[in-house]
Structure 1
């Protein structure tokens, strides 16, 4: 299966920041117990590697690794439905291979 990374952006459909301001941390805290086999991280102190809060261009976001579906499809559905229910956009991340990036000539 092809796995992707998705971003839930903390901007509502009306263009305003989603509230409460700690929504991303709260959502990731709820999902902290969803970990890959053998992950020794303590969910009381660390986020799941599948659902992490980030800031992109000064916007709070949550990055979702779709491998979460392999662990528990309901967990991925929960996160996706959270975004849909709250009118938050979900974007697919693009990834670059290091050798495919061209640097400008000086």
Structure 2
């Protein structure tokens, strides 16, 4: 009996409140993802590889015109406090949260 490796889910924190309003400030997604930018596979990078960028576990995106932060569930086991920080941010600001998996863009014909 073979098992496929478990692919971590992704949590989409949407920039729309539970009451349907657009969340402000407009750069909230970049700020939140930036706060978690040091959580990377292999830890914090030093030297020439220490460029500024987002963690692959927490990235800002615009999906169908809505700002989102996509949080990979792997962050929960890598750094539970960072996971709690992001989930508490969403809860405290009454943001819509959806569990999903980001699919790649279909091939262009």
TM-score w.r.t. length of structure 2: 0.79
Q: Deviations over 1:4-43 (max 9, x none)?
A: 111000001221110000000000110001111167453x
| CA–CA separation in structure 2 for the residues paired with 1:90 and 1:48 | 19
- The reply to whether residue 85 of structure 1 matches residue 92 of structure 2 is yes
Residue 104 of structure 1 is matched in structure 2 by none
Contact 1:11–1:89 (CA<8 Å) still a contact in 2? Answer: yes
Q: Residues 47 and 95 from structure 1, CA distance in 2 versus in 1: closer, same or farther, beyond 3 angstroms?
A: closer
Residue 21 of structure 1 is matched in structure 2 by 26
SS at match of 1:84: helix
Residue 74 of structure 2 is matched in structure 1 by 67
Contact 1:36–1:71 (CA<8 Å) still a contact in 2? Answer: no
| CA–CA separation in structure 2 for the residues paired with 1:82 and 1:23 | 11
Q: Residues 39 and 33 from structure 1, CA distance in 2 versus in 1: closer, same or farther, beyond 3 angstroms?
A: closer
TM-score w.r.t. length of structure 1: 0.81
Q: Deviations over 1:52-105 (max 9, x none)?
A: 0001110000000011112111110110000000000110114669xxx9xxxx
Aligned length: 97
The root-mean-square deviation of aligned C-alpha atoms, in Å, is 2.2
Give the unaligned 5+ runs of structure 1.
Answer: 102-106
